[in-house]
Structure 1
Amino acid sequence: MTETHENPNSPTASPSSRTSRRNVLFGTAAAGAALFAAGCTSNKSNDDKEEAGQANVADDKPGKQVTIGFAGPQADHGWLNAINEQAQERAKKYKDVTLEATEGSNDNAQQVGQIETLINKKVDVLVILPADGKALTQVGLKAMRAGIPVVNLDRVFASQQAYRCWIGGDNYGMGLNAGRYIGEKLKDKKNAKVVELAGIDNLELTRERTDGFDAALKNYPNIEKVARQAAEFTVESGQSKMAQLLRAEPKFDALWNHDDDQGVGAERAIKQAGRDDFLMVGGAGSRRVMDTIKADNGVIKATVLYPPTMAASAIDLARALGQGKGVGGLAEFEIPASLTLYSAVVTKENVDEYLPTGFK
């Protein structure tokens, strides 16, 4: 998922660039300049202008009919299944939206074929979560050239020309917040040791999560990361790689696991080893982990969110694009070019607030 140019979505951009520039990129400057010029010369009253602005904002009231094509990877993972559910449930909320969803695939060629079918159906807008952003960039470009705006969900395409709007999680921020939480818990402990159970190492998102984690730990000189294993976002890999970590490190104080699904296996390995002498922080925000945090009867003390609600928001953005409207609460008449979601840390103190967002 490496990118070919420097932009705020690029994994090669600096972490500060990714996390700051992504959050506040908005629609075309030319359109904004035109609106400003029109405002300076218009004879309309302020009330007329406010009404015009409100009419250009998407809301729940039925409007122009929009057909949204939705294409994501195969839902063979709890988080990905939640992505599909969020998109489908959000679409049902709107009487003016028809959702055309593919079966999903982890095979790049097959997913390209599914998206091309949606292009041939002439859907109004496409929402695409690519199995591999770089590999599917060309089909994103094809859709945009065909006049179908693309909402790129989470795994970013290699060219900004392949999408109109990107929305997704903050992988660097996810690692950063996990590291800060662990750092604060261990800041008074001498010679503290932590280990990391990462995700799939050939995905840029995994490297970004590790980079954020390592950056946070640099603020705590008493803490050393002594081991790291990369799993595969599956229960089986989580169990086997966690077992390796436990054998290699007979004593450590904290574990950060990138993914709550592979965490099911990690917890099995921990239980089998009879270990409870460290705290564990999960990743993504499954309902199972949130329930465990609330019960406070195990090693899991927190999880860092990677909200699947981004799929529901992607449907909102796609609908607004299809209707030529902006987003409520913002002054701009265009939807943003990029939206990065925040990776909140869920603990026993705030878990009730986040329970409704937990995925199965």
Structure 2
Amino acid sequence: MRSRMTARTRLILTGVAAAASVGLLVGCTGTGADENGAERQGTTSEENAASGDTVTIGFSGPAADHGWLGAINSGAADAAASFDDVELKTAEGTNDPIAQIAAVETFVNDKVDAIVLLPTDGAALTEAAIAAMNAGIPVINVDREFSSPFAARATVLGDNYGMGVSAGTYICEQLDGKTDAVVAEIAGIDSLPLTQDRSQGFADALKDCGLDVSARVAADFTVAGGESAASQLLSANPKIDAIWNHDDDQGIGVLAAIASAGRDEFFMMGGAGSKAAMEAIEADDSVLKATVIYPSTQAADGVALARLIAQSKTLGDIVTPGIPNRIVLDAPVVTKENVDQYIDLAFE
């Protein structure tokens, strides 16, 4: 690895190890004995950081028509650039599964060493991913899962259900036993499984403290959609105690609707972790008091994993040799008290 990395890149690349590390290792060597003489098999992060054989990684993701997706793409590029033994081949972002299948086939024909793939449609890309795996090219699946376990060597996911749980838990804590509270929810696109998972986690967490969702509307992950949905919600509910908005990009429209309505009797939390949301939380001058992260570093983690897999390395600082087949990243809540720990990872 190059000797200098930006703070952002260091944070990106620690995501994989932080997600999977169990904190059990001591010492500095790849195999050997700890201070009690016990043998271990894992490698350390320092060993994995050392340059190895150059590997070529193909990356394909959807069109960057949302701030989060833009951060996914730039994160993959930043991660690859931080290694002096990685060459990244990036396909043009697309929302057309046929075009993405063609990109994967091109990677296979080019005989890349690994493929990192955030599919525009997991089911539609499954067969292409299986073909790559059958050609001996490991595929790292990011964010949207394939429909077969044979389509990927490793999968890196955000935790949509966990986002809902984190949001509900935070709201329960802030309302502190107020069982008659009016809790509202502004979801994303209701037909998407990720929205359904977020809503289910939210409802389950609220139920645990004796609350439920009193009012709910769905938007479409856009600023205009957020403003329209929030206006509808506010008009139908003259009193609200707390709002969870699933997505910080659509949250710009939500906050505009709240300002237009002159409402401030409630607090709001967002979702995904945009820079605009974190700056508003830091300023503490609006109803937005928190957001829950859906990591935009997943493709960066995928590139880091692809490098390790292609170089036959193990994941640093865990006891069990090899690379985990499935990594689910955390969904932490960001507040004014801890925003400084997360703002460098925020997406624009």
**Per-residue Cα deviation, 1:147-181 (whole angstroms, up to 9, x for no partner):** 11000001111111100100111111110010000
Alignment TM-score, normalising by the size of structure 2? 0.87
Equivalent position to 1:299, from 280, 284, 287: 287
Tell me if 1:116 matches 2:87: no
Range 166-175 or range 102-111, more displaced: 102-111
TM-score (normalised: structure 1): 0.84
Paired residue type of 2:124: A
Deviation, 1:293, is 0.5
Structure 1 runs (4+) deviating above 6 angstroms are 49-52
Does 1:332 pair with 2:320?
A: yes
In structure 2, the residue matched to 1:60 is 49
Structure 1: 5+ residue runs without aligned partners? 1-22, 26-43
Q: Cα offset for 1:190?
A: 4.6
Q: Give unpaired runs (5+ residues) of structure 2.
A: 1-18, 22-30
Matched residues, number: 320
C-alpha contact (below 8 Å) 2:45/2:317 kept by paired residues? no
CA drift of 1:224 comes to 3.4
Counterparts of 2:257 and 2:45, CA distance in 1? 54
Compared with structure 1, are the counterparts of its residues 51 and 212 closer, same or farther at alpha carbon in structure 2 (3 Å cutoff)? closer
Aligned partner of 2:258 in structure 1 is 270
Question: Residues 179 and 45 of structure 1: is their aligned pair in 2 closer, same or farther, counting only changes over 3 Å?
Answer: closer
CA contact 2:42–2:316 (8 Å) conserved in 1: no
Q: Quote the residue 1:158 is aligned against.
A: 147
Find 1:139's aligned residue among 114, 117, 128.
128
Aligned residue type for 1:171: N
Q: 1:186 to 1:65 in 2, by over 3 A?
A: same
Which residue pairs with 1:101 in the alignment? 90
Query: Residues 164, 230 of structure 1: CA spacing in aligned structure 2 closer, same or farther, 3 A cutoff?
Result: same
Report if aligned partners of 1:24, 1:338 keep a CA contact under 8 Å in 2: no
Q: Deviations over 1:129-161 (max 9, x none)?
A: 011112211111111111110000011111111
Contact 1:57/1:333, CA 8 A, preserved across alignment: no
Partner amino acid for 1:194?
A: V
Per the alignment, in what secondary structure is the counterpart of residue 311 of structure 1?
Answer: helix
* SS of residue matched to 1:157: coil
Q: After the TM superposition, which of the residue ranges 50-59 and 203-212 deviates more from structure 2?
A: 50-59
Measured in 1, the distance between the counterparts of 2:287 and 2:330 equals: 25
Aligned-residue CA RMSD in angstroms?
Answer: 2.4
Identity between Structure 1 and Structure 2 (%) = 50
- 2:148 counterpart letter in structure 1: S
Establish whether residue 346 from structure 1 lines up as the match of residue 346 from structure 2. no
Work out whether 1:207 is the aligned partner of 2:164: no
Residue identity in the other structure for 1:254: A
Q: C-alpha offsets along residues 184-221 of structure 1, whole Å, 9 cap, x if unaligned? A: 11133251011111111222111110010000010122
Equivalent runs, 1:285-296 vs 2, <5 Å: 285-296=273-284
> What letter matches 1:339 in structure 2?
I
Q: Pick the aligned partner of 2:176 from 173, 176, 187.
A: 187
The CA distance in 2 between the partners of 1:45 and 1:311, in whole Å, is 32
User: Mapping of 1:206-285 within 5 angstroms?
Assistant: 206-221=195-210, 223-285=211-273
- SS of match in other structure, 2:124: coil
Q: For the structure 1 residues 58 and 170, does the alpha-carbon distance in structure 2 shift closer, same or farther, using more than 3 Å as the test?
A: farther
Corresponding residue for 1:90? 79
**Residues 283 and 303 of structure 1 are in contact (CA less than 8 Å); yes or no, is this contact kept in structure 2?**
yes
1:175 equivalent in alignment to 2:164: yes
